[in-house]
Amino acid sequence: MAIVLAAAAAIWVGAQALIGALGLEQRYLLLADLAAGAAFIWALVVTWRISRHNKRRRDAGSASDGRNN
């Protein structure tokens, strides 16, 4: 996840600089923004799913071993 976030941020910054330096149209900036946003949302969803999975495993483990945690 951290790799996806770092890569998305680095590519976004690079795209902003490159698009500005080349004088391309604003729609390319929007495309770079949307791609970075999609990567950030994907990482958020995956992080949330991992958290839910770990919580379910933790809850199932404490219910089956009879200990109070």
Count of all residues that appear for the chain in the document:
69
Which segments of the chain have a pLDDT < 50?
none
pTM summary value: 0.74
Using DSSP, state whether 15 is helix, strand or coil. helix
pLDDT tens per residue, range 50-64: 999 999 999 988 766
Q: What sign does the CA torsion over 34, 36, 38, 40 have? A: negative
**Residue 32, H or E segment:** helix 26-65
Structure tokens at 13: 């910054």
User: What does the block give as tokens for 58?
Assistant: 């933790």
